[in-house]
């Protein structure tokens, strides 16, 4: 909601202006990138919570430190099977997926 006094806009209004409304190509690309970023941050936080270095996590789930780093820094796409292995074997957690329609 815009206020005349200080020209503040909601985050939703900002996104609509900068990336278009939901369902447009530009907005969909932004939303997808944001989800990848969130996944990388989530994995990093779980790794740190488990007192693991990137190298230790990589060893536990059969990948490389470089790959873990790329995921955490949003520089790599990740396969679902790899994500499951990192979470299950590397972090001792369970992956649950939720699909919104």
**CA pair distance 1, 67, nearest whole angstrom:** 42
For each of the domains in the chain, give its residue range(s) and CATH number, in order of start. Answer: 11-90 (1.10.260.40)
Predicted confidence at residue 97, as pLDDT, reads 87
Indicate the DSSP class of residue 76.
S
Per-residue pLDDT of the chain (101 residues; tens, 9 = 90+): 555 567 889 999 999 999 999 999 999 998 888 888 999 999 999 999 999 999 999 999 999 999 999 999 986 788 899 999 999 999 999 999 889 88
Which residue is listed with tokens 């990948």? 63
Note the pLDDT of residue 59.
97
Number of Cβ within a 10 Å radius of residue 61: 19
Task: Give which of 39, 80, 41, 87 is closest to 61, Cα–Cα.
Answer: 87
């Amino acid at each position: 909601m815009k206020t005349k006094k200080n020209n503040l806009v909601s985050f939703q209004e900002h996104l609509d202006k900068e990336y278009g409304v939901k369902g447009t190509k530009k907005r969909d690309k932004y939303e997808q990138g944001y989800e990848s970023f969130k996944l990388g941050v989530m994995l990093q936080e779980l790794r740190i919570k488990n007192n693991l270095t990137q190298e230790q996590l990589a060893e536990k789930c059969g990948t490389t430190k470089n790959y873990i780093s790329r995921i955490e820094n949003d520089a790599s796409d990740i396969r679902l099977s790899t994500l499951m292995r990192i979470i299950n074997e590397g972090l001792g957690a369970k992956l649950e997926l939720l699909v919104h329609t």
